[in-house]
Amino acid sequence: MNERPCHPTGSRFDPAEFNRDNYERVSAGLNDALRRIENDHGLPAALEVLEAQQLDVGFIQDDLSQVQRYRLIHPSDPGHVFTAQFNPRRTLRHAGAGRSSPPKGSTAENGGCFLCRENVRWQQRGIEVGYDLRVGERDYIAWMNPFPLMPMHVTIARRDHEPQTWVRDSPGASSQTIRQILDDLLDLTSRLPGFVGFYNGEGAGATIPGHFHFQFFKRPEGQEFALERTASIAAAEVHRHLPLVIRKYPIKAICFSGRRADIVLQANRWIDQWTSHYESSRALSANMIAQRAPQDGDSFHLFFVPRNRLYSHAPGIAGLVGGLEVLGEMVFSTDEEKARLVSGQIDYHSVVRILASVEAPGVSEFLDTIQP
């Protein structure tokens, strides 16, 4: 008798429904626990637990142990250093980790977008669970990165499927969108002391341009990035108030520092001028990089790097040039790049060329019009 057991007559077991309910139960349970931890100990502690859970369940597949790091030092001025990492799994970050077509009973929303929660469940076989966050007036979900570039690398994505770009049909609408982005970025940054937060615009390092998201990671102990060092030097040279225009760097950046309200005011004024200057061109993009001042939740440093989305790649690097690269940490992932790193063919000057080649055209001229 090899008959297989069959369902009792009349039972209507629906595996898709079972798995969906199960996912919701796990997600609700984990979110309850994380909420309590955040209330008692802050958001970094909650994300630390989320990371541990996602490692335990096998969603995070890389603990950075495969990553090799290099220092690319200026040949005659050793104070100037870019850093580089060889991260062979970078290319697997999104598509490689999950399944590409939905099972019976589920559908691929928004073209199978990797940041839509409805897709994440089946794409990641139910093991990727995010932490629901209310940020200002909007809902977000914090997802751990399965192939991190940095410690505690988290993607904080809008709950709804909305585009990454801030450019709208009119300068007024664009300004309003970027204001919201800035508000949310600073809100999250204030809740994440010790972290660096990024907004990478479309064509400025955003890997999923269809779905709005920020990236955050924990700053490696003692690491000062090249752009930050250049900003410190520039700040010491001028005795003027905000903002600080950083020209002595391969890609120009504006640095806003101080209390949140001042930064928002200054950055909005600056961004409005820039957006109007280009009549809200669809090609406009940007990197914004934020961090909270230690010990003070209401003081920030914010870098704004004007970008053009038609200049998203640079010769000499296979991956996109996003906020981390702009900060001074290059991410290389191909075998050919590794060979060039090891042999010294990729050096300090290579990084200068990479960053210079993604500067938005016209930025210098624009800066001259506002600050000769």
Binding site for Zn ion (CB under 5 A): 110, 113, 115-116, 161, 211
Q: How far is the CB of 359 from Zn ion (least distance, A)?
A: 30
The owner of tokens 């629901």 is: 132
**Residue 175 in tokens:** 């300004």
The DSSP call for residue 7 is P
Select from 256, 259, 230, 236 the least CA-distant residue to 244: 256
Which of 93/211 has CB closer to Zn ion?
A: 211
Q: How far is the CB of 231 from Zn ion (least distance, A)?
A: 34
Q: How far is the CB of 209 from Zn ion (least distance, A)?
A: 10
Q: How far is the CB of 118 from Zn ion (least distance, A)?
A: 9
Which of 184/359 has CB closer to Zn ion?
A: 184
| Chain residue at closest Cβ approach to Zn ion | 113
Q: How far is the CB of 115 from Zn ion (least distance, A)?
A: 5
On whether the CB atoms of residues 290 and 189 are closer than 8 A, the answer is yes
Select from 268, 281, 292 the least CA-distant residue to 178: 268
Q: How far is the CB of 91 from Zn ion (least distance, A)?
A: 21
Strand order in the sheet with 138-144: 131-135, 138-144, 154-158, 213-218, 195-200, 284-292, 299-308, 253-259, 244-246
Which of 116/305 has CB closer to Zn ion?
A: 116
Which of 159/179 has CB closer to Zn ion?
A: 159
Which of 138/277 has CB closer to Zn ion?
A: 138
Select from 248, 262, 229, 260 the least CA-distant residue to 367: 248
Which of 116/355 has CB closer to Zn ion?
A: 116
On whether the CB atoms of residues 210 and 113 are closer than 8 A, the answer is yes
Select from 254, 239, 227, 249 the least CA-distant residue to 371: 254
On whether the CB atoms of residues 267 and 234 are closer than 8 A, the answer is no
Q: How far is the CB of 333 from Zn ion (least distance, A)?
A: 24
Select from 42, 56, 214 the least CA-distant residue to 143: 214
Cis check: omega of the bond before 171, within 30 degrees of 0: no
Q: Give the C-alpha separation, 128 to 111, whole Å.
A: 19
Q: Give the C-alpha separation, 216 to 197, whole Å.
A: 4
Number of H helices, E strands in the chain: 10, 12
Q: How far is the CB of 157 from Zn ion (least distance, A)?
A: 8
Which of 116/227 has CB closer to Zn ion?
A: 116
Which of 116/226 has CB closer to Zn ion?
A: 116
Which of 121/211 has CB closer to Zn ion?
A: 211
Q: How far is the CB of 192 from Zn ion (least distance, A)?
A: 23
Q: Give the C-alpha separation, 352 to 75, whole Å.
A: 13
